[in-house]
A and B are shown apart, each in its own frame.
Chain A
């Protein structure tokens, strides 16, 4: 099974909005609303930011939002802050009852 496809890097200035895409297939992202997003700072474990495509866990800023269209899911971060600079990974359940991650996107806040 191939990893979900994410851009290697994105960047934005403080206050701006950015969107990270996550493209899969009709057997994973397109098949279920089981897409989640994780933020990872260097040397730290990943942190859940979005689950079930667009739901936010308690304590996660509402600047983070998720959506999905067809086989592509997206994570949008609005009002960029310096602390948002991190790696972001998407994940999806698959029809093979396995879990796939995206290759990761490095977000740089300029």
Chain B
């Protein structure tokens, strides 16, 4: 059974950089995409981006270049950085496994990390 465990700072100030990491336990790291998804309080899900084991990335264009997703295959981990945060970035952030090419669904999710941005 695949398990995703995520961690990172939960309280940030405006203009700081959000940083989260997700470790993948059990199961193959290659052959899948790995994604970050967020959910503002009381609102819906927003896909932030995806990366595969070789570092090929795609981002949500609405984030306007503020987001970076990276991968460390030696540790089976991938990370999210979102710079210049504002209150609008306050959300629960999830890491998730996106099934490989030809399918595209999120079958395993992390526990979620609550991030609050204050001034």
Chain B, 67-109, contact with A by CB distance < 8 Å: what is the 0/1 string?
0000000000000000000000000001000110001111101
Which residues from 42 to 74 on chain B have a C-beta closer than 8 Å to any C-beta of chain A? 43-47, 50, 58-62
Q: Are B109 and A45 in contact, CB atoms less than 8 angstroms apart?
A: yes
Q: How far is the CB of B102 from chain A (nearest CB, A)?
A: 8
Q: How many angstroms between the C-alpha atoms of A103 and B40 in the bound complex?
A: 12
- Specify which of B44, B98, B107 is in contact with A103 (CB 8 Å cutoff): B44
Q: Which residues of B contact A100 (CB under 8 A)?
A: 47
Task: Tell me the complex Cα distance, A82–B40, Å.
Answer: 26
How many angstroms between the C-alpha atoms of A89 and B88 in the bound complex? Answer: 21
B62 pairs with A1, CB closer than 8 A:
yes
The reply to whether the CB of A72 lies closer than 8 angstroms to some CB of chain B is: no
Within 8 Å by CB of A38, from B104, B106, B110, B111, lies B106
Query: Once the chains bind, are B107 and A101 in contact (CB under 8 Å)?
Result: no
Using Cβ atoms and an 8 Å threshold, which residues of chain A touch B103? Answer: 34, 51-52
The number of residues on chain A lying at the interface, defined by a beta carbon within 8 Å of a beta carbon of chain B, is: 25
* Residue A102 at the chain B interface, CB threshold 8 Å: yes
Q: Which residues in window 30-71 of A have CB below 8 A to B?
A: 32, 34, 36, 38, 45-48, 51-52, 57
Cβ of A34: which chain B residues have Cβ within 8 Å of it? 103-105
Report, nearest first, the 8 A-B pairs whose CB atoms are least far apart: A51-B105, A36-B105, A104-B44, A93-B104, A45-B109, A34-B104, A99-B47, A101-B45
A residues whose Cβ falls under 8 Å from a Cβ of B: 1, 3, 32, 34, 36, 38, 45-48, 51-52, 57, 89, 91, 93, 96-104
Q: Add 8 more A-B contacts to A3-B44, A51-B103, A98-B47 (CB < 8 A).
A: A1-B60, A45-B109, A51-B99, A52-B105, A57-B107, A98-B61, A99-B47, A103-B44
User: Which residues in B have some Cβ–Cβ distance to A below 8 Å?
Assistant: 35, 37, 43-47, 50, 58-62, 94, 98-99, 103-107, 109-112
